[in-house]
Amino acid sequence: MTLVIGAFTIGLILSLLSMGVWISFRILRYCDITVDGSITLGASVTAVMIINGWSPWSATIAGTLAGGAAGFATGMLHTKFRIQELLAGILVMTALYSVNLRVMGKSNVPLINVENISSPVGRMLNRGTGGADSINLLGWAVPIQDASMLITVLIITVIVALFIRRFLLTHLGTAMRATGENPQMVRAQGVNNQTMIVFGLVFANALVGMSGALLAQYQGFADVQMGIGMIVWGLASIIIGEALVSKCTPGFALCGAIMGTILFRLLVAIALRWGLNPNDLKLVTAVFVFAALVLPGGIKYFIGKYSKEKLNG
Amino acid sequence: MVSIRDLTKTFFPKTPNEVKALRGIDLDIPEGCFAAIIGTNGSGKSTLLNAVAGTFKPDQGNILIGRQDITNWAEYRRASLIGRVFQNPFAGTAAEMTIAENVVMAMRRGCRRGLGLALRRSVRHEIAERISSLKMGLEDRLDNPIGTLSGGQRQALTLLMATWLRPSLLLLDEHTAALDPKSAAQVAELTLEIIRREKLTALMVTHSMQQAVQLPEHIIMMHKGEIVRQFGGQEKARVRVSDLLAAFDHVRRQEQLDPAVSEILGSQYV
Amino acid sequence: MNLETQIQGSRAVLKVTGRLDAAWAEHFHNSIQEVIREGHHHLRIDTSRLEYLSSAGIRSLLRIQRELNSVKGSFGIIHPSAFVAETLRLSGLQQMIMPESETSDVETVQDAGMSSLAALQPISGIRFEKHSLKEQGKITVQRNGRWKSWQPVRKEDAVEISFSKNIFGLGIGAPEHDIEAARTRFGEFIAVSGHVVWLPGDGTATPDYLEQAELFIPRLHVIQSLSGEGDFSHLLRFSPGEKGNFLNISDLFLQVLQTTQSNAAAMIGIVEVEGLVGSSLSKSPGLISETDRPGDFPEIRNWLRFCGERIHSQTQALVVSFLSRDPSHSSIPHLSPLPSIPGLRVHTHASILPYRPLQQGILELESSVRTVFEDNEPIDLLHLIEDDRPLIGLGQSAFIRGACWCAPLQFSKETSS
């Protein structure tokens, strides 16, 4: 059961990342690999702030904003300096490696015996159960600490998802969705598509930063290496999610991203339990994404991408 | 009122591929006039339209709409004055978004876009009402992705979108060229209807001489980046396709009259 | 439908197989027209294998009959199947069917009349017939209008001329009532036996024409023109020995000079065109101002239209030429040198019309011109020139067949002075 709870919690946390990746890859149709750096940035900023006595909430918000700043940098490199989207992401990601080391001062910052974002919920549960250190969930004894984290990230993820859905249905959100699909049309309707790309990347990377902030608090440390391969995990989650729901409306697509991430984490947990070498995990994930891209659905994805470039040219 | 003064554009300057796409275009389109540009391939007709739309910055010259000099305005900023329909039916709409979502984008062409919900009930009602004027039954399919419409329907919708807010200038870039003959005729008819009803100032690029003769009130003939001939007023009324062809032929022959021929004519033509 | 052509002496027998209906009538007519162009004016249509004949087919038969009648040819249906005979009889056209007996004796009836016929040496595969019309026939040529090329047109440059049937000519002018009205419309014209074709210089590019009728005589204000009056001494007929042969205009000029045995001649031709090279005004010279230099490149582009390629093949041209290699004529204005024949100076205008077959043998000018204009409208008008640019030059105008009336010319006293 610990395994399932863990998979759910980490799945919910990473679904913030997935939603960020979904915004850049699917909405903006922008191949943004800043993600690997911005998730670590979110984690490191949050960890350092918590250690220095800031409240977990303000630290999480700061991590989120830091992620947004990374997205802003990528967006400006691409739109103002006309650097290819992939290269702009690589530049920022590489630079962030040093930035993260600077922020943390070392390669790993442990968060042991400090307040984290789930602590208030933990105290509430504690009071509710009269001081027990575990609660009964469907017949299983779950440690209070794990339960409070699960509840906290569930609430955050649901609020964030509702917020994104609502945003995408506003005038601004509609324009952002159209930007990815048809920049030509968007310009003809009086929208600066470049601004939209920058804005979208800020938005996406802020979500990734938030994901990093929560991840650091959940696993109890921030590590300079923790972001490696995150983009691929995000993509894998989205692909699973799209297989689960039709992706017509923003609401459904967001649900898909969340469900896909959780399912992906469950699959990973099961695979590890069955003896998959953790070192092989990234290879397996990459192969999975490759297969998903090459199979018919993936081909369609590429065509969508191609037609966008054609209209750009 | 649109005024273009000495508009010049050279692509790939000082390279072997140098193309003098526009060579000092001077053009005035009075308020409420529907003008068409015709020309051979590479005559610069689309380039001229794109210069007005703001796709690129001209090397020299000015473009004025009303009293506003828009020469240095970015493409998206010009949208507050200009409505556009493209040749490719896919270019004017976002395929995976719904009809209503596409239209609601056009309802705010050139306006600020805030965080208000885009598709309120009243807005949907307004969209359905106006879209029913197309008589294509699209008002019942507001939540279908645009990608499910035919090219003709998409072009008709794009046209409606471009004129939803009255533009100071409507730009039509061979907007019927990619359609089958029947849809092309329908869209052409709709174009004329909307332009007449709203008394729009419009500039259309067309490759179809027939269309140039039938639709607009003014014909601008371009060749090699220059305006070589204009037909307006009474003259336009009697112009037939054969006259346009003859005018093109004349231009082509004029080019063949080179200095060597000039010398021959000097000695033999008395 | 299939058409087989067999030449039997002066007659051509065309055997039609299959159906002659609306779908095939156009093709049938064009194929027969081709045969007529080749000079066969006595046609017999063998309909023994014709399966079906609709009204569209009958219509094209009637058209061909009318065309052949106008050139004094003959036309008839032979070996009609019962079906064809019945169809024609019901349509009241049984006279179209020719009895077997008559098919053998339609040998050419030469209108020997007043003329004498002589065959000449062929030039580049083109055969010539020379018909003498009037001994001592002579054309007197007058120069009208005082405009000097590319100068502004002054009021006194223009003069009004009536082109009645006995005057022919060419030049630049306009049929307006006064010179000020004509100023914006001056353009090339050609005048032959009461027919005047002119190309208005107002940019319309479509020739206009005037025909003498009843009391109406075409009148033009001309600023530059040569007009001729008198009798033609000879008629030259020419036709290709075999398909693909054609005659350059310079060779025709030499033949005319040789035929008329003179150094200066006037010529009117009705010819089938192989290709024309020429130029015409695209803007009236009446609009030239003191500051304009219409003769200079590139300004010349606004005033003159150059054909750019060999044009109007397969059409018919009505041509008027004045030519001279007499050194004493070198001061006569409006004649310019022809590069391919040193010493020869010419001025030629051609009006282009849809093709019409001409009667064989000797022809009368006036009725032939009338035939050419019947139901036909001029397509274009050109001042013919020779393009002798090396490699890319278009060469000279050339003809496939035709009839040319010619005579020695003499200039009127005031012209040569």
Which pLDDT belongs to residue A302?
Answer: 54
Q: What distance in Å separates the CA atoms of residue A93 and residue B239, rounded to the nearest whole number?
A: 64
Looking at per-residue pLDDT, the higher value among A74 and A146 belongs to A74
Place of tokens 């750096």: A37
Residue closest to C175 by CA, chosen among C214, C132, C209: C209
SS3 string, C60-103, reads HHHHHHHHHHHCCCEEEEECCCHHHHHHHHHCCCHHHECCHHHH
pLDDT at C116 over 80: no
Q: What is the pLDDT of residues B100-123, one digit of tens each?
A: 999 999 998 888 888 888 888 889
Q: Measure the CA–CA gap between C259 and C405, rounded to whole angstroms.
A: 11
Name the residue among C205, C304, C347 with its Cβ closest to that of B265: C304
C2-104 folds as Transcription Regulator spoIIAA (3.30.750)
> What span, in angstroms and rounded, lies between the C-alpha atoms of A313 and A291?
29
Rounded Cα distance between C57 and C80, Å, is: 14
Domain of A87 in residue numbering reads as 2-106+114-312
- Return the CATH number at A126: 1.10.3470
With 0-12 / 13-18 / 19 or more C-beta atoms within 10 angstroms meaning exposed / middle / buried, residue C398 is buried
Please give the structure tokens belonging to residue A289: 């994404």
Q: Examine the pLDDT at C111 and tell me if it is beyond 50.
A: no
| CA dist., res. C287 & res. C303, Å (int) | 10
- Kindly state the average pLDDT of the residues C259-278: 95
Q: How far apart, in Å, are the Cα atoms of A313 and each of A276, B155, C285?
A: 45, 21, 50
Confidence of residue B201 (pLDDT cuts 50, 70, 90): very high
DSSP string across C224-245: EEEEEEE---EEEEEEESSTT-
Cβ of A312: how many Cβ atoms within 10 Å? Answer: 10
Out of A170, A172, A311, closest to residue B91 by CB = A311
Nearest Cα neighbor of C159 from C417, C416, C415 is: C415
Long-range pairs, A101-104, Cβ under 8 A, ≥24 = A101/A224, A103/A41, A103/A44, A103/A45, A103/A48, A104/A44, A104/A47, A104/A48, A104/A222, A104/A224
Residue of B nearest to C299 (CA): B262
CB atoms within 10 A of CB A121: 17
* pTM for the structure as a whole: 0.76
pLDDT of residue A247: 57
- Per the CB < 8 Å rule, is A190 touching B108? yes
pLDDT at C212 over 50: yes
Residue C105 has pLDDT above 60, yes or no: no
- B118 in contact with A, Cβ within 8 Å: yes
All residues of chain B having their beta carbon less than 8 Å from the beta carbon of residue A248 are: 145
Question: Would you state the pLDDT for residue C295?
Answer: 87
How near does any CA of chain C get to the CA of B68, in Å? 36
Please report the DSSP string for B133-193 in residue order: GG-SSGGGGTTSBGGGS-HHHHHHHHHHHHTTS--SEEEEESTTTTS-HHHHHHHHHHHHH
SS3 B245: helix
pLDDT, tens digit, 9 for 90 and up, residues A120-143: 888 888 888 777 777 777 777 788
Q: Write the pLDDT tens digit of every residue in A269-311.
A: 888 888 888 888 888 888 888 887 777 555 555 555 544 444 4
Taking an 8 Å cut-off on Cβ atoms, the answer to whether B254 and C301 are in contact is yes
Among A47-56, B234-243, C389-398, the least confident range:
B234-243
Contact B204, B34 (CB under 8 A): yes
pLDDT at residue C172 is higher than 60: yes
Residues from chain C contacting residue B262 (CB–CB below 8 Å): 296-298, 300
Confidence of residue C110 (pLDDT cuts 50, 70, 90): very low
Residues in chain A with CB shorter than 8 Å from the CB of B109 are: 188-190
Which chains share 3+ C-beta pairs under 8 angstroms with B? A, C
Q: How far apart are CA B23 and CA B9, in angstroms?
A: 7
Tokens of A59: 């630290």
Q: How far apart are CA C190 and CA C268, in angstroms?
A: 10
Q: What is the mean pLDDT of residues B119-144?
A: 89
Query: Can you give the length of chain A in residues?
Result: 313
A192: nearest CA in chain B?
Answer: B76
Domain count within chain A: 1
For residue A178, what is the nearest residue in chain B, using CA coordinates? B94
The reply to whether B120 touches chain A by the CB within 8 Å rule is no
Provide the residue ranges of all domains of chain C, joining segments of one domain with +. Answer: 2-104, 116-139+224-416
Partner-chain residue, chosen from B257, B259, B266, that has the shortest CB–CB distance to C306: B257
Average pLDDT over residues A95-106: 93
In order, the DSSP letters of A271-285 are HHHTT--GGGHHHHH
Domains by residue range for chain B, with CATH: 2-96+166-268 (3.40.50.300)
Looking at chain B, which residue has its C-alpha nearest residue A166?
B117
Taking Cα atoms as reference points, which of A41, A80, A64, A287 lies closest to residue A197? A80
pLDDT in tens, B146-166: 989 999 999 999 999 999 999
User: Which tens digit of pLDDT belongs to each residue from A132-183?
Assistant: 777 777 777 788 888 889 999 999 999 999 999 999 999 999 999 999 999 9
Predicted confidence band of residue A312 (pLDDT cuts 50, 70, 90): very low
Q: What rounded mean pLDDT belongs to chain C?
A: 89
Which residue did the predictor score with more confidence, A277 or C408?
C408
| Closest chain B residue by Cα to residue C383 | B269
- Measured in degrees and rounded to the nearest 5, phi and psi for residue A75 equal -60, -45
Amino acid in the structure at residue B77: R
Residue C392 near residue C246 (C-beta atoms within 8 A): no
The Cα A44–Cα A40 span in angstroms is: 6
Collect all residues with Cβ–Cβ distance below 8 Å to C107 and sequence separation of at least 6: C9, C10
Give the whole-angstrom CA distance, residue C81 versus residue C51.
Answer: 8
Q: Which residue has the higher pLDDT, A36 or C38?
A: A36
Report chain C's terminal Cα–Cα distance, integer Å.
Answer: 66
Q: Is the dihedral of CA A176, A177, A179, A180 positive or negative?
A: positive
Overall residue count recorded for chain B in this entry: 270
The rounded distance, in Å, linking the Cα atoms of B241 and B250 is 14
How do strand B34-39 and strand B218-223 relate by DSSP bridges? parallel
C46: closest CA among C56, C36, C61?
C61
Q: Which of residues 56-85 of A touch B (CB under 8 A)?
A: none
Residues of C in contact with B261 (CB under 8 A): 306, 387, 389
Whether ipTM tops 0.90, in short, is no
For the beta carbon of residue C112, count every other beta carbon within 10 angstroms. Answer: 11
Angle between helices A230-244 and A281-294 (to 10 degrees): 50
Quick one: pLDDT at residue A147? 87
What SS3 state is found at A38? helix
To which residue do tokens 């500051």 refer?
Answer: C291
Best probe of the C interface among B238, B239, B251, B264, by most C CBs < 10 A, is B264
Residue A229 has pLDDT above 60, yes or no: yes
- How far is the C-alpha of C48 from the C-alpha of C45, rounded, in Å? 9
| % of chain C with per-residue pLDDT over 70 | 95
**Minimum mean pLDDT among A196-200, A266-270, C114-118: which range?**
C114-118
The per-residue pLDDT for C359 is 86
Helix residue spans in C331-373 (DSSP H): 365-373
